[in-house]
Structure 1
Amino acid sequence: MSNEAFFPIGTPGQPWGSEEKARWLATQTRKRSYHDEVVREIDDLRTDFEVSEYGRHTYGHDIYPLYAVRSKSWNQALPTVLVTGGVHGYETSGVHGALQFLKTRAGGFADRANLLVVPCVSPWGYEHIQRWNPDAIDPNRSFREDSPAAESAALWALTEPLRGDCLMHIDLHETTDTDDSEFRPALAARDGKPLPPGGIPDGFYLVDDSEHPQRDFQQAIIAAVQAVTHIAPADADGMIIGSPVVAPGVIEYPVKQLGLCAGITHARFVTTTEVYPDSPKATPQQCNDAQVAAICAAINHALAQA
């Protein structure tokens, strides 16, 4: 198979250098506004929450402030829970699900937990509907102390003081048709590797931490979400995206080893959500609602076990 068959940049079998990355970046265009669609929504939350800027990224002429939303009355006696969205900026319901949670449901946890919510970790990715950042780095493989991704490094620094105190972390994602049509081919080309077989699961699923699995926690989330949208079935080999299904709608990854956002703290309860917005059986609002249902179920289960 020629490289041209699955991605138009690079030479088959050879990882990208600076020239190829520059060619890739030159093809990226802004498709929506982080300020209009996200920052304005965050600004509306300032009456009920503490909103802080925890970083600022400059890419060319574009400046992206990074925002964290916290409980206004932070109480050291309460458990702390972390919600992150938009680590992959193109995964829309991760961002807007987090915002919807803050607007509609977060108040119900005010006297039960300290909330730290980061609705959009990767603003450039949000605007350009991209998985990577402008340096062709996947932030969700880069959560570590010496991270090469500015987005990941900023979130790492924000959460460091809470790393040992966090009870629960839910990271909101999507699996989309463009994972197969665009992002996996780009990854194979960037790394100079063959393009492996793909396949997109139709429905919601979760990724647990294989090194510290919490099966009851995952199943509590699945039970809540299936009232909102359908759960992805296993394929004929008992897999979802190439990983064994360990419980209905649940697969496992070693999250810290892979540098995933879900491994950024030492929380007992961690999960990564994956909704499927391209399904004919789901609407964008259902995807946002599924993320909100997942957040609420995750917090409720974690607090019940604390």
Structure 2
Amino acid sequence: VPGNYSSTETVPANWKLTGISCNDGNSSGDVGTATANFVLDPGETVACVFTNTQGGSITVEKQTLPNGSPQAFAFAGDVAGSLADGNSITILVDPGTYTSTETVPAGWDLTSIVCDDSDSTGNIGTATATFNVSADEAVRCVFTNTERGTIIVENQTIPGGSLQSFSFTGDAAGNLIDDGQIIVDNLAPGNYSSTETVPEGWKLTDIVCNDADSTGDIGTATANFVFDAGETVTCVFTNTQRGSITVEKQTLPKGSLQAFDFTGDVAGSLTDGNSITVLVDPGTYT
């Protein structure tokens, strides 16, 4: 029967009604209300076509180095929220372009953004993933953050409690007395070094690091730190104070000019009232 008629669609989840077209100039479609309004004249057949486009999804995933960090990372933009290691946020979207930006916390570096879609990209400089989503496409971008670490140089003396100052240069630089430490934090994982200037009257007798990848070289008085994400590496320099031995010559009668020769660890020639002193490491000498 000629007249006005209508039909309304219930749009299912993750679909979007993107068009309603009718083959009659008097009939129309309203995408906003998902309704086709038919105006039918006598003997007329009117068709209205509803076009639906399936939506997609975008996912932001968080990974940390080292694994298992409880640090929370905040994201803003189309995908927003807070994520710790191994967690993700997924939202349903219409086809289009979307972004999500991370706020990188202190003590961390954003080291990669990898998306599983060739049309989507990550920009480390802006800490942003850009999702380009087609119909029925799921795009995932993984943000990987690497925790910074700390190197510590510690000084120990034998005997303990010495007030002698020991100078260090390199990535951990400064002056230390016994039990002192130089702490350098907020470092990206990598290789670092610190070298001691051994003062006169002392001998560097040991460098011990609490990390298997880090080493000490007594010959060069240098600790080489090799540390991974989030690691704290301590290298302890042990300095032993040297002693001295003295040979003194006395004659009877006093004042003799006779020269007396000495060999061994203290060697030389002495007359009455003179002496020879040499600095030595702890040990036995003749």
TM range (shorter): under 0.3
When Rg is computed on C-alpha atoms for both structures, the one with the higher figure is 2
Relative contact order, higher structure (CA 8 A, sep 6+): 1
> Which structure carries more strand by proportion?
2
Higher helix share: 1
TM-score relative to the length of structure 2: 0.18
